Amino acid sequence: MRKDEAVMGTTPQLMRALNQRTVYDSLQRLGSASRAELARRTGLSKPTISLAVADLERAGMVRPAGQKPPAGLGRTSLLYEPDPTAGYVLGLDIGRRWIRSAIADLSGELLGRADLPQNAESTTELVELASQASARARTSAGISAQAIAGAFVGGPGVPDRPSRRFRYAPNLPGWSEPGMLDQLAEALGCPLDSDNDVACATVAEAAHGAAIGAANFVYLWIGSGVGLGIWIDGRLYRGHGSAGEVGFMPLAATTGTDNSRLSAIERREGLVERAVGADGVLRSARALGLREVASAKDVFALARAGTQVALDVVELEGKRIAHVVAAVVAVLDPGLLVLGGAVGRNADQLTAPLSDELARLTPLRPRIVGAHLGDDAVLLGAVAAALDTARQRVFADRMGTPLL
Q: What is the pLDDT of residues 25-63, one digit of tens each?
A: 999 999 999 999 999 999 999 999 999 999 999 999 999
Could you report the per-residue pLDDT of 12-29, keeping only the tens digit for each? 888 999 999 999 999 999
pLDDT at position 252 over 60: no
Dihedral in degrees, nearest 10, Cα atoms 287, 291, 297, 299:
-60
* pTM for the model: 0.86
The full set of domain ranges for the chain reads: 3-82, 87-200+378-399, 210-371
Could you report the per-residue pLDDT of 309-332, keeping only the tens digit for each? 999 999 999 999 999 999 999 999
Could you report the per-residue pLDDT of 336-393, keeping only the tens digit for each? 999 999 999 999 999 999 999 999 999 999 999 999 999 999 999 999 999 989 999 9
C-alpha to C-alpha distance for 203 and 280, rounded to whole angstroms: 27
Alpha helices (runs of H) in 35-157, residue ranges in sequence order: 35-42, 46-58, 123-141
Which CATH superfamily is 210-371 part of? ATPase, nucleotide binding domain (3.30.420.40)
Give me the CATH code for the 3-82 domain, please.
1.10.10.10
For β-strands 226-232 and 235-237, DSSP reports them as: antiparallel
Could you report the per-residue pLDDT of 169-197, keeping only the tens digit for each? 877 888 999 999 999 999 999 999 999 99
Report long-range pairs for 238-247 (Cβ below 8 Å, ≥24 apart). 238/199, 241/158, 241/159, 241/160, 241/161, 242/158, 244/196, 244/198, 244/199, 245/158, 245/168, 245/270, 246/220, 246/272, 246/324, 246/327, 246/328, 247/271, 247/272, 247/273, 247/277
Amino acid letter for position 32: S
Longest Cα separation, the chain: 81
CATH topology identical between 87-200+378-399 and 210-371 = yes
Torsion 187-192-197-202 (CA) sign: negative
- In CATH, the architecture of 87-200+378-399 is 2-Layer Sandwich (3.30)
